[in-house]
């Protein structure tokens, strides 16, 4: 860790200027160091847990030196090494006055030791907040968020987040850098895997579920951790899907597409926000006063703090808006980033900036106030230490694995099922199980696997063996690797296919093909995997494709070759049971796509709620069909659902009235299933053009075979029929609207 390096700032080349600056800095540092000391006679009200939080915070701030304040704004990390032999040495490096640690150990005792340093060796005993990326699980790994959204099951997602919170808390964490709310429409961008897909409303709904799951009823309760909404904002629009690149975002798109999930997360109580890497139309997200202060703090009244993304302060120099790190510090801090993740820029340059009069003390105090508020709400001052329980009581408890399996299974999407190829019923006596994913225990967890371990994963192979034991003969062959051009396994695979009744091929992506810095120029699987399928087609047996990926795939060729396709995503620890359950029919697929699968990579961007073109019938690519291969919302089941016509409670409503839309869904097949109804609204004319349709509500319900269930959508005009302009102002215009469910479209009118 670097300490104040005001003395070594290379930019201060002129010796006289250097001396003047040094004097000024010294005076400022002394001034703000001595005054609080004098105030030390004051009672330390901040230690009184019965005093109001704001009173405690003000009291503490009045006692802090400038250095102590700036240290609160610093997040430090010491790397991955938490080997007990090294802990002593490493611990010496952690300053007791540090604000936050990016904590990469799973050891609660180590955390408690570090925390003890802060509580006992720092002058004021301010606790450290320990953060980490528990994105889709900690030790129990849940499916990637993109998959979770396909479950449309906000309750399960919330539960998975509270399990993550519990495992994390018991490992020494107070804070996770999740959920990611970047509405993502370019599948080349690897980070599509980390968010909830292409739709704004879906991202908002899952934002609320995740925040409530992590933060529980009260942040001060045991087993709850602070959420962090990221990456604020517009990161997913980086040009061409290249990670970290420029994002050109109109204010209309900013407000209409990107802001709502963050606003929903803030309203749900998210304690913190992370500012993104991206340059938003010339003003980077980590130096953007408008988004960080005008919107987040003033308009939405967020009272927690903003942490920069890893390096996003110093990267302002690379992005060309700051001539050096000092200026980057100034821009980022004054824009509204309170904590500096690992850059040490704030520690290095804020003292000088205060001395120069460029950063007012009031702004420093406000930043510290926000950080302390989160620490107070977490109850860290009273309960700085976490419980230490043995690992077997901490991780992978049976009830956690049950939720993981359910969520994994519910997130899988049956894309195609010709002639009811699936499920694997008694019509199949033997199955060939082929492909690089069958025995994998690494890539199946996806990127950001937290502290997940391959040895905890139930592989697909193990899951299938358990599921089909004594019922179906399983003939395994690898076939080929994920990539490369070694076809030496093809012959064995074809032999196994020839002696089986059907061929199940498990293809997919490696974990680091998506996630951060995981952009790809094509979203097709490597040619070797497609060639394997073509080879196995020679067997003449039904071909079932099981695809594991962190993004939508280009399936234009594979789709033709397969009789059935299931997108299993990256399902995590319980992959084996979840996949086997879907194949056997023990679990009826209920996932629906949270992101569109284009025909080809060149069709990107394509998403369900695009604006209509000026010539809707023309202008499409001439070499591929005009539609996507599988649209947002697509997903089949082993049963059939019949929808009644949509019933509206009225055909005309006033702006202050509500309209109820209902649809009765009958499970007309033989299997019990869960069906999600997605309710869309279309506004055909408005002062600002509207998307073709917009998701406004969804609901998932269990329907037994033969049963009927009514789904209901209460339309609130201000919420569901209004639109936002480029300043973030809402408008509600009268006129005709449509409610849309599947291919039904019913009109109603909004009057004054
Ligand atoms: C990522 C963030 C993550 C942070 C801390 C960054 O590189 O962009 O999503 O939370 O690292 O690990």
pLDDT at 90 over 90: no
The span from the CA of 87 to the CA of 76, in Å, is 16
Q: Is residue 496 situated within a structural domain?
A: yes
The answer to whether 564 and 416 are in contact (CB under 8 A) is yes
| Rounded distance from Cα 296 to ligand 1 centre (Å) | 20
**d(CA 151, ligand 1 centre) in Å:** 25
236 neighbors 182 (Cβ within 8 angstroms): yes
| Domain boundary residue, one of 603, 623, 653 | 603
Q: How many domains does the chain have?
A: 2
Q: What percent of the chain has pLDDT over 70?
A: 93
Q: Is a pLDDT exceeding 70 seen at residue 170?
A: yes
Q: What is the residue with the minimal CA distance to atom 4 of ligand 1?
A: 310
**Nearest protein CA to atom 7 of ligand 1, as residue:** 310
d(CA 459, CA 574): 8
- Among 580, 603, 626, the domain boundary falls at 603
Q: Is the pLDDT of residue 4 over 60?
A: no
Q: Write the residue with the smallest CA distance to atom 8 of ligand 1.
A: 309
- How much is the pLDDT for 16? 44
Mean pLDDT of 586-602: 98
Report how many helices (DSSP H) and strands (DSSP E) the chain contains, helices first.
Answer: 22, 27
Centroid of ligand 1 to alpha carbon of 133 (angstroms): 7
The mean pLDDT of 120-126, rounded to a whole number, is 97
Q: What is the mean pLDDT of residues 391-412?
A: 98
Of the listed ranges 46-50, 90-94, 139-143, 669-673, the least confidently predicted one is 90-94
- Site residues for ligand 1, CB cut-off 6 Å: 133, 177, 230, 309-310, 516
| For range 69-83, the mean pLDDT | 80
Give me the pLDDT at residue 77, please.
82
Domain span at residue 703 reads: 641-751
pTM (predicted TM-score): 0.94
Residue 25 lies in a domain: no
572, 665: one domain:
no
Residues with Cβ within 8 Å of residue 160, at least 6 apart in sequence: 136, 137, 142, 148, 213, 403, 404, 407
Distance (angstroms) between ligand 1 centre and the Cα of 98 equals: 19
Is the domain of 455 the same as that of 555?
Answer: yes
Same domain, 549 and 646: no
Shared domain check, 524 and 468: yes
Q: How far is the CA of 738 from the centre of ligand 1 (A)?
A: 41
Q: Enumerate the H helices of 315-428 as residue ranges.
A: 315-318, 325-335, 345-355, 361-377, 391-394, 398-411
Cα 738 from Cα 752, distance rounded (Å): 17
Look at residues 639, 644, 643 and name the one whose alpha carbon lies nearest to residue 705: 639
Expressed in angstroms and rounded, the spacing between residue 9 Cα and the centre of ligand 1 is 28
Please indicate, yes or no, whether residues 542 and 658 belong to a single structural domain of this protein.
Answer: no
**With contact defined as beta carbons under 8 Å apart, do 681 and 740 qualify?**
yes
Q: Is residue 358's pLDDT more than 90?
A: yes
Reported as half-sphere exposure (CB side, CA atoms, 13 A), residue 537 has a value of: 15
Q: Is 488 part of a structural domain of the chain?
A: yes
Nearest atom within ligand 1 for CA of residue 135: 10
Indicate the pLDDT class of residue 8, thresholds 50, 70 and 90: very low
Q: What is the pLDDT of residue 94?
A: 85
**444 pLDDT exceeds 70?**
yes
Nearest CA to ligand 1 atom 12: 133
Please report, for the domain that includes residue 560, its CATH number: 3.40.50.1700
* Residues 625, 628, 630, 633, CA torsion sign: negative
CA of 127 to the centre of ligand 1 (A): 23
Candidate of 175, 177, 512 to mutate for ligand 1, largest count of ligand atoms within 8 Å of Cβ:
177
Contact yes or no for 340/75 (Cβ under 8 A):
yes
Residue-level pLDDT at 12: 31
Residue 44 lies in a domain: no
For residue 740, pLDDT beyond 50: yes
> Per DSSP, what are the bridge partners of residue 308?
275
598 in the same domain as 650: no
How confident is the model over 183-212, as pLDDT tens digits?
999 999 999 999 999 999 999 999 999 999
Q: Which atom of ligand 1 is nearest to 276's Cα?
A: 8
Q: How far is the CA of 65 from the centre of ligand 1 (A)?
A: 30
pLDDT value of residue 81? 53
Query: Taking a C-beta distance cutoff of 8 angstroms, is the pair 539, 498 a contact?
Result: yes
pLDDT at 390 over 60: yes
Q: What is the CA radius of gyration of the chain?
A: 28
Substitution site in 310, 311, 517 for ligand 1 pocket (most atoms within 8 Å of beta carbon)? 310
Same domain (yes/no): 418, 509: yes
What does the pLDDT average to over 672-681?
98
What string of DSSP letters covers 602-638? Answer: GG-S--TTPBPPSSTTS-S-TTS-SS-SB-TT--B-S
Per-residue pLDDT at 82: 55
Ligand 1: residue of 76, 100, 133 to mutate (most ligand atoms within 8 A of CB) is 133
Give domain status of residue 557, yes or no.
yes
Q: Which atom of ligand 1 is nearest to the CA of 230?
A: 9
Is the pLDDT at 352 greater than 70? The verdict is yes
Tell whether 717 and 580 lie within a shared domain.
no
The interaxial angle of helices 15-38 and 345-355, nearest 10 deg, is 90
Q: Are residues 487 and 559 in the same domain?
A: yes
Active site residues: 309
Can you tell me the mean pLDDT for 73-82? Answer: 75
Identify whether the C-beta of residue 131 lies closer than 8 Å to the C-beta of residue 141: no
* Amino acid 14: pLDDT: 41
Sequential DSSP letters for 632-673: TT--B-SS-EEEPPPEES-SEEETTS-EEEEEEEEE-SSS-E
Least confident of 102-111, 597-606, 718-727: 102-111
Among protein residues, the one with the nearest Cα to ligand 1's atom 10 is: 177
What's the pLDDT at 450? 96
- How does the average pLDDT of the chain come out, rounded? 94
Residue 598 and residue 645 in one domain: no
Within-domain flag for 332: no
Q: Is 71 inside a domain boundary?
A: no
Confidence category of residue 85, pLDDT binned at 50, 70, 90: low
Q: Does 293 score more than 50 pLDDT?
A: yes
Phi, psi of 460, rounded to the nearest 5 degrees = -60, -40
- pLDDT surpasses 60 at 143: yes
CA 289 to chain centre: 24
Judged against a pLDDT cut of 60, whether residue 39 lies above it is answered with no
pLDDT at 86: 62
Ligand 1: residue of 173, 306, 516 to mutate (most ligand atoms within 8 A of CB) is 516
Domain CATH code at residue 686: 2.60.40.10
Are 692 and 584 contained in the same domain?
A: no
CA of 310 to the centre of ligand 1 (A): 6
Res 5: pLDDT: 28
Q: Using 50, 70 and 90 to split pLDDT, how confident is the model at 92?
A: confident
Q: What is the pLDDT at residue 93?
A: 80
* Nearest atom of ligand 1 to the alpha carbon of 178: 10
Q: Is residue 495 part of a domain?
A: yes
Task: Select the more confidently predicted residue: 273 or 85.
Answer: 273
**Residue 733, both tokens:** 């215009």
Residues 652 and 716 in one domain: yes
309 Cα: distance to centroid of ligand 1 (angstroms): 6
Query: Is residue 37 pLDDT above 80, yes or no?
Result: no
Beta bridge partners of 666: 642, 708
């Amino acid at each position: 860790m670097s300490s104040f390096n005001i003395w070594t700032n290379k930019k201060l080349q002129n010796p006289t200027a250097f001396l003047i600056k040094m004097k000024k800095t010294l005076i400022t540092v002394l001034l703000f160091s001595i005054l609080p000391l004098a105030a030390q006679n004051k009672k330390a009200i901040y230690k009184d847990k019965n005093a109001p939080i704001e009173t405690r915070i003000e009291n503490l701030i009045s006692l802090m030196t400038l250095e102590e304040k700036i240290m609160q704004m610093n997040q430090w990390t010491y790397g991955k090494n938490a080997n007990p032999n090294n802990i002593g040495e490493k611990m010496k490096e952690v300053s007791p006055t540090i604000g936050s640690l990016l904590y990469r150990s799973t050891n609660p005792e180590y955390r408690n030791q570090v925390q003890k340093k802060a509580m006992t060796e720092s002058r004021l005993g301010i606790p450290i907040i320990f953060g980490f990326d528990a994105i889709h699980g900690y030790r129990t790994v849940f499916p990637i968020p993109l998959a979770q959204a396909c479950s449309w099951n906000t309750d399960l997602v919330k539960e998975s987040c509270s399990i993550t919170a519990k495992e994390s808390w018991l490992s020494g964490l107070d804070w996770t850098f999740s959920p990611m709310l970047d509405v993502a429409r370019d599948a080349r961008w690897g980070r599509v895997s980390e968010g909830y897909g292409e739709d704004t409303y879906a991202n908002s709904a899952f934002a609320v579920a995740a925040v409530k799951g992590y933060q529980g009823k009260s942040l001060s309760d045991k087993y709850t951790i602070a959420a962090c909404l990221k990456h604020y904002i517009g990161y997913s629009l980086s040009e061409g899907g290249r990670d970290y690149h420029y994002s050109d975002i109109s204010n209309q798109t900013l407000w209409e597409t990107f802001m709502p999930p963050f606003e929903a997360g803030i309203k749900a109580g998210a304690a913190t926000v992370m500012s993104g890497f991206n340059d938003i139309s010339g003003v980077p997200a980590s130096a953007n006063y408008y988004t960080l202060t005008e919107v987040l703090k003033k308009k939405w009244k967020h009272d927690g703090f903003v942490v920069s993304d890893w390096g996003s302060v110093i990267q302002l120099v690379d992005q060309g808006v700051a001539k050096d790190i000092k200026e980057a510090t100034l821009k980022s801090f004054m824009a509204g980033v309170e904590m500096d993740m690992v850059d040490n820029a704030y520690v290095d340059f804020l003292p000088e900036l205060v001395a120069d009069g460029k950063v007012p003390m009031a702004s420093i105090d406000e930043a510290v106030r926000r950080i302390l508020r989160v620490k107070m709400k977490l109850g860290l001052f009273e309960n700085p230490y976490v419980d230490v329980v043995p690992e077997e009581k901490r991780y992978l408890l049976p009830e956690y694995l049950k939720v993981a399996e359910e969520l994994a299974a519910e997130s899988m999407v049956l894309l195609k099922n010709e002639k009811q190829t699936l499920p694997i019923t008694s019509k199949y006596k033997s199955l060939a199980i082929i492909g690089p994913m069958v025995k994998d225990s690494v890539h199946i967890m996806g990127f950001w696997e937290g502290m997940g371990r391959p040895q905890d994963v139930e592989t697909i192979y193990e899951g299938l063996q358990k599921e089909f034991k004594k019922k179906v003969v399983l003939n395994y062959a690898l076939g080929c690797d994920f990539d490369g051009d070694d076809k030496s396994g093809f012959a064995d695979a074809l032999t196994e296919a020839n002696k089986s009744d059907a061929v199940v091929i498990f293809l997919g992506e490696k974990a680091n093909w998506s996630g951060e810095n995981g952009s790809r120029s094509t979203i097709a699987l490597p040619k070797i995997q497609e060639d394997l399928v073509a080879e196995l087609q020679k067997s003449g047996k039904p071909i079932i494709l099981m695809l594991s990926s962190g993004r939508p795939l280009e399936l234009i060729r594979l789709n033709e070759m397969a009789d059935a396709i299931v997108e299993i995503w990256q399902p995590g620890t319980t992959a084996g049971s979840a996949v086997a359950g879907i194949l056997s029919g023990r679990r009826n697929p209920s996932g629906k796509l949270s992101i569109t699968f284009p025909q080809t990579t060149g069709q990107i961007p394509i998403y369900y709620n695009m604006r209509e073109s000026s010539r809707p019938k023309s202008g499409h690519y001439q070499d591929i069909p005009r539609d996507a291969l599988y649209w947002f919302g697509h997903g089949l089941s082993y049963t059939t659902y019949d929808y009644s016509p949509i019933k509206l409670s009225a055909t005309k409503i006033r702006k202050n009235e509500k309209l109820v839309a209902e649809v009765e869904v009958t499970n007309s097949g033989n299997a019990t299933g869960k069906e999600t109804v997605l309710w869309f609204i279309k506004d055909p004319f408005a002062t600002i053009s509207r998307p073709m349709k917009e998701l406004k509500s969804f609901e998932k319900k269990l329907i037994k075979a033969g049963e009927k269930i009514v789904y209901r959508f209460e339309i609130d005009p201000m919420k569901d029929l209004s639109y936002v302009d480029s300043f973030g102002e809402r408008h509600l215009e009268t006129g005709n609207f449509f409610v849309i469910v599947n291919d039904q479209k019913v009109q109603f009118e909004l009057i004054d």
